[in-house]
Structure 1
Amino acid sequence: MAMAMALVVPFLCVSALFGLSFAGDPFAFFDWDVSYITAAPLGVKQQVIAINKQFPGPVMNVTTNWNVVVNVLNSLDEPLLITWDGIQQRKNCWQDGVLGTNCPIPPGWNWTYQFQVKDQIGSYFYFPSLSLQRAAGGYGGITVNNREVIPVPFGKPDGDFTLFIGDWFNKNHTALRKILDDGKDLGMPDGVLMNGKGPYRYNTSLVPDGIDYETINVEPGKTYRFRVHNVGIFTSLNFRVQNHNMLLVETEGTYTMQQNFTNLDIHVGQSYSFLVTMDQNASSDYYIVASARFVNESRWTRVTGVAILHYSNSKGKASGPLPDPPNDFYDKTFSMNQAKSVRTNVTSGAARPNPQGSFKYGSINVTQVYVLKNVPPVIISGKRRTTLNGNSYSPPDTPLRLADLYDKKGVYTLDFPTRPTNAPPRIGASVINGTYRGFMEIIFQNNDSIVQTYHMDGYAFFVVGMDYGEWTENSRGTYNKWDGVSRCTTQVFPGAWTAILVSLDNVGIWNLRVENLDTWYLGQEVYVRVADPEGYNKTEMLVPDNVLYCGLLKDKQKAQTPHGSESSSTPALRRGELFKLMFLLVSFAFVL
């Protein structure tokens, strides 16, 4: 994967110039032009969302506590927001990139995100959060490295690969949107992409000739880190590397107990890091496979991604059948047991030198409990919608956080039910009222027939339990209260539940959503409002100077000259260019 071109600047060079309020850590600057390109990953030409003409987008390679400045130019023909999956945005939901906190960037405009990867390490990704756009691309990786003074619980790998896997349709995202708007199901995807490319032609009847595929080049005897992200639409994928063990070491910012897998189910929105040692004899290349799970295997055979692992001394191309997926037809607990085995390495440090297990979450008193039940899509006011506890979220025109700041009443309600109710389902903007510095228990009850994955912005949470059937108060007796994995995205199996614990120490309004794009688009999300009782500006970062206004506040928005027009003005000058210009001036001054 090509790395993002970033300008890294010491804090003191720019703090006085821009009045930035972040800690004294380096800055990394990125300039992104988000636009359409024409590509044919599965052999059919279609419109794809690219960043700086790259699909997938560049990998942001930064280090713990760095300040990140991303200038986004929206060259699409529709509004755009970029969200940073897993980056916790400490007390800074203004940069979250979802409709509850940000007005969309209009076509032709640019907007600059500015945040700090405070006390974080690990593997994450970014993507466009609006209107099913992720189904057309626009995603890329975020790698947050440890500071040199912090020990890592494994030897330094000989290389680092980022691999995006995900289901893919040959229809563009606007066509997929129309299908959902018409009350229909998206159906079966056309394939699975790996790093934006189609499958290697392992089967001439399933894979047409001429499709570009991904090749990972390696040296025999060396060990590499693979950061694997499922950026797809709704399909759980089983990931495996033919004849190689995958040593799991990290997931979404937490170092895990190290264990070898021959395959692992990676659900939509999840990220994992493996160490893979090149210990085979290289008689030929090897398959890297991501195949659909929890589906009709015979119908979904072509929904398989295949890349190639190529040793420098390989004696030939990969051939023959793919390595087998898990055979759990008679054992529905296989994948769940895999998930339960992913636990925190409590003896290792992460972003800080203290062991991860020093936070004894199992002994903290729970202050709020929410049981969130989803069911198959329902019809509300003639529309096909998805729900949580009977509520189908519809984003208001005014972002929730802006409504709070300017005391705009009636934008949302704080009446989200703590448990499933028998009331008729409804469409609206009902929000969970979280207690700042409280400790919340959330149980996801999946009464649908497909795997759901849930993500919470602004937080990592502890996955403490999961099982089949209906959750009850007695289910707490099965919780892992010592080394449950801390992450930001968790799977919930059909007909099952998953329980998480989260410490509400991050002021703001935060999105809690299903990562499955179709059900998210139809309303399966909610926001958690965590307000500081001492008032605005006490612990939360100030609203940024470049905030966009819309909805009830649209009259406050100053016009911006769209890029590409013949005239321009200073306010429309791209902030990334300003940063770079200032840096050059400062550098020149040092030389003098």
Structure 2
Amino acid sequence: MKRVDFLPFYLGLLALVCVSSVNAEDPYRNFKWVVTYGTVSPLGVPQRGILINGMFPGPTIYCETNDNVVVEVVNKLDEPFLLTWNGVKQRKTSWQDGVLGTNCPIPPNSAWTYHMQVKDQIGTFSYFPSLGMHKAVGGYGGFNIGARPVIFVPYLKPVAEFTLLVSDWWKSDHKSLTPFFLQALRQILDSGKSLPKPNALLINGSPRATSFTGQAGQRYLFRVSNVALQTSVNFRIQGHTMTLVEIEGAHTLHESYESFDLHVGQSASFLVTLHSPAKGYYIVASSRFTKTVLTATGILHYQGSTAKPSLPLPIAPTYQIHWSMKQARTVRWNLTANAARPNPQGSFHYGTIPITRTVVLANSKAKIGGKLRYAVNKVSHIDPGTPLKLADYFNIPGVFKLDSIKPAPSAGPAVLAPSVMGFTLHDYVEIVFQNNENSIQSWHLDGYDFWSVGFGGGQWNSTLRKRFYNLNDATSRYTVQVYPKSWSSILVSLDNKGMWNLRSAIWPRQYLGQQLYARVWNDERSVYTEYEIPPNALRCGKAH
């Protein structure tokens, strides 16, 4: 009987596996960004802004699900700098989150490289500077994640996409304001005072000069993000309805809107078909819940037409809170559509999972040492000189105290402290944001998306779950608004180990302490739950 030699077969199989492994690696997208000061004039007055590669706003990142995004940031400012990636989950690597609790700042005249994988994500996101008041003067941009070609997208394909960044703006430089403002924005906050009201809204860095051109009869995807410091906005397009198809990484049921509220830190995508007579139409963003209504406009041009848009601007609500609450309840998860994976979003039955822990977080305005601060459950966060993540990783004592913030509101005066709350990996947590103030709040959680299951007026209590919670088709998202004298509840599966920033997206409040860090942990040290500290990680404070 002839002996069969299997060695060539196994060698060939091994070679095939090796080649497949190489080909199967997700693509890399590499960027080099040089951060500088530069002159910008959004309101016709030259001011010093923060530019990325000479651009204000910064460049938009376009990538696909699972891509590896590598961004080398060269800091040419005269002070430290960090970027954070709003809504990008940073799976198993809070090392890349770009906030002071996880990263040492990039020193002046030096560079640091972020390595991110946009694992299992699609949708509209953004980035912005996370240190001090840098965000007030630029450095922000869009971050759009498209679906892989093999994944079905549950809406008709647009012929093009437009990215719109809505921001608020002050008339003067953040270091040397005009005498009208007397001091810099951060000096005002450091002195214990509130910021003056912004002077304007901008769309892509301009109050009225941004324009887009499309062809009659075609459909376009408008990706809109509110990157303002403190202003909720209403967005609309004159003469056109907008079909909501995605909000903060989740595909939604296709509801049509004449206008739509976006609170600070939130993003959404709308399909718009150019079906009106060929001419120009105003794109409008106006402030919400403000006594003085600020308005920014852009123009949607029909290709081939020179006709200008005509007044009046399309109307929108200004202060009507119940209108906003009613609209928010119309946003629903598309249960049969997939997101980044082939399986339907609705196959994850978030409403049937037992809650392992409930946390109630109450924001408040406080005076500490005679100065204005903002607190959560009576703790106003301060950043220690050593990032919390580094202190935790290297077991450095004296940097923070775990559970320095309580899981429910308490009596007593507010205190200054690094605010860290401990959670167990894979906890399924209900977080209630209780807002007893007269102003709207906006909360963002790094490292996760969550289900925004309910909101209502007054004080939250457990009996409200049955009446107000949507446990079937609430959307997953990464930022949630809390209306004045109201509460909002979220459910979140804590499956991403690390140190994660839970903060007010309203930046002056974040700057003055309305934030905390969630330490999501188990005792297993494994790359299956968390990646090791990057080789290029910067060291500072006690972590030298």
TM range (shorter): over 0.9
User: Residues of 2 paired with 1:484 and 1:90: CA distance?
Assistant: 23
**Contact 1:532-1:538 within 8 A present in 2 as well:** no
- 2:242 maps to which of 226, 243, 246: 246
Indicate yes or no: 2:56 matched with 1:65: no
User: Residues of 2 paired with 1:214 and 1:430: CA distance?
Assistant: 41
User: Residues of 2 paired with 1:143 and 1:327: CA distance?
Assistant: 29
- 2:339 is aligned to 350
Give RMSD over aligned pairs.
1.6
- 1:432 is aligned to 421
- 2:376 is aligned to 388
CA deviation profile, 1:10-48 (whole Å, cap 9, x unmatched): xx99x99xxxxx982111100000111101011111011
User: Residues of 1 paired with 2:325 and 2:226: CA distance?
Assistant: 18
User: Residues of 2 paired with 1:76 and 1:401: CA distance?
Assistant: 25
1:186 counterpart letter in structure 2: L
1:459 counterpart letter in structure 2: Y
- 1:446 is aligned to 435
Indicate yes or no: 2:297 matched with 1:306: yes
1:256 counterpart letter in structure 2: T
What is the CA-CA distance between 1:538 and the residue it aligns to? 5.3
User: Residues of 1 paired with 2:522 and 2:61: CA distance?
Assistant: 32
Please give the secondary structure, in 2, of the residue aligned with 1:403: helix
Where does structure 1 differ by over 6 angstroms across 4 or more consecutive aligned residues? none
Change in CA separation of 1:435 and 1:157 when aligned onto 2, cut-off 3 Å: same
Change in CA separation of 1:23 and 1:67 when aligned onto 2, cut-off 3 Å: farther
- 1:397 maps to which of 382, 385, 394: 385
- 1:226 maps to which of 201, 222, 225: 222
User: Residues of 2 paired with 1:537 and 1:62: CA distance?
Assistant: 25
Please give the secondary structure, in 2, of the residue aligned with 1:529: strand
Indicate yes or no: 2:169 matched with 1:179: no
- 2:496 is aligned to 506
What is the CA-CA distance between 1:430 and the residue it aligns to? 2.4
2:379 counterpart letter in structure 1: N
Give unpaired runs (5+ residues) of structure 1.
1-11, 17-21, 200-212, 555-592
Change in CA separation of 1:281 and 1:365 when aligned onto 2, cut-off 3 Å: same
What is the CA-CA distance between 1:179 and the residue it aligns to? 1.1
Change in CA separation of 1:538 and 1:355 when aligned onto 2, cut-off 3 Å: closer
What is the CA-CA distance between 1:333 and the residue it aligns to? 1.3
2:497 counterpart letter in structure 1: V
User: Residues of 1 paired with 2:194 and 2:43: CA distance?
Assistant: 21
CA deviation profile, 1:62-92 (whole Å, cap 9, x unmatched): 1111111100000111111111111100000
What is the CA-CA distance between 1:321 and the residue it aligns to? 1.9
**Contact 1:436-1:533 within 8 A present in 2 as well:** no
CA deviation profile, 1:138-195 (whole Å, cap 9, x unmatched): 0111111111111000111011000001111112334111111122221221101010
What is the CA-CA distance between 1:443 and the residue it aligns to? 0.4
More strand as a share of residues: 2
- 2:10 is aligned to none
**Contact 1:91-1:540 within 8 A present in 2 as well:** yes
TM-score (norm 1): 0.85
Please give the secondary structure, in 2, of the residue aligned with 1:335: helix
User: Residues of 2 paired with 1:48 and 1:429: CA distance?
Assistant: 30
Equivalences for 1:149-548 in 2 at 5 Å?
149-174=150-175, 175-199=184-208, 213-282=209-278, 284-296=279-291, 299-300=292-293, 303-326=294-317, 329=320, 332-375=321-364, 377-415=365-403, 416-477=405-466, 478-535=468-525, 537=527, 539-548=529-538
Please give the secondary structure, in 1, of the residue aligned with 2:509: helix
What is the CA-CA distance between 1:315 and the residue it aligns to? 4.8
Change in CA separation of 1:394 and 1:247 when aligned onto 2, cut-off 3 Å: same
- 1:31 is aligned to 32
**Contact 1:220-1:313 within 8 A present in 2 as well:** no
TM-score (norm 2): 0.93
What is the CA-CA distance between 1:328 and the residue it aligns to? 6.4
2:115 counterpart letter in structure 1: Q
**Contact 2:386-2:541 within 8 A present in 1 as well:** yes
Q: Percent identity?
A: 49
Q: How many residues align?
A: 516
- 1:88 is aligned to 89
